[in-house]
């Protein structure tokens, strides 16, 4: 379980690094689409970084996606290798996803996006947007994920622990 939490925290810190460097490397339309609509509208015409910077950003995103796939595969292989029960596998999968989701909600959404003016400094045209004060802007999306994660984890735990899936 410790390894699972470490892998999830690793994924969380990679996400943090991407969120911090994305405004400097990615197109504003890519970065701002995750923020409130008025912020997106105000900043979408901000000048894009140069092509080499955008390509670097896409390379970093691909590397982050590769880490996520590797980490999740490592968790799945650990479940099979350790011959965990359904309950233990479910617990491990849920921990992996919920650690990342808690980090996303608390650190990225509420602290970085809503409590600091980091993005407002990167996109000065968004200063004064009411979306920066709306802490509930992403609640629906986050709630859907928090409801779906336990269901998906149960399905995956079943698939990873059923008798025919063990080699």
pTM, 2 dp = 0.78
C-beta neighbour count of 73 within 10 angstroms:
10
C-beta neighbour count of 90 within 10 angstroms:
21
Q: From CA 36, how far away is CA 3, in angstroms rounded?
A: 35
Owner of token pair 């479910």: 90
* 3 state DSSP class of 38: helix
pLDDT digits 0-9 by tens, 44-84 = 999 999 999 999 999 999 999 999 999 989 999 999 899 99
pLDDT of residue 165: 47
Confidence of residue 150 (pLDDT cuts 50, 70, 90): very high
Query: Among residues 137, 134, 138, which one has the least CA distance to residue 146?
Result: 138
pLDDT of residue 28: 92
CB-CB contact of 26 with 49 (8 Å): yes
């Amino acid at each position: 379980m410790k390894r699972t939490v470490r892998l999830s925290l690793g994924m969380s810190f990679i996400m943090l690094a991407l969120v911090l460097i994305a405004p400097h490397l990615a197109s504003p339309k890519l970065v701002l689409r995750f923020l409130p609509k008025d912020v997106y509208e105000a900043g979408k015409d901000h000048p894009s970084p140069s092509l080499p910077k955008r390509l670097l950003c896409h390379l970093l995103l691909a590397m982050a996606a590769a880490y996520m796939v590797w980490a999740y595969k490592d968790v799945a292989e650990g479940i099979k290798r350790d011959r965990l029960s359904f309950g233990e596998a479910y617990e491990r999968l849920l921990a992996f996803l919920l650690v990342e989701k808690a980090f996303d909600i608390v650190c990225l959404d509420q602290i970085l996006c809503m409590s600091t003016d980091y993005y407002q400094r990167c996109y000065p045209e968004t200063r004064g947007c009411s979306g920066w004060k709306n802490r509930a802007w992403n609640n629906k999306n986050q709630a859907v994920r928090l409801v779906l994660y336990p269901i998906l984890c149960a399905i995956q735990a079943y698939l990873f622990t059923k008798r025919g899936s063990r080699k």
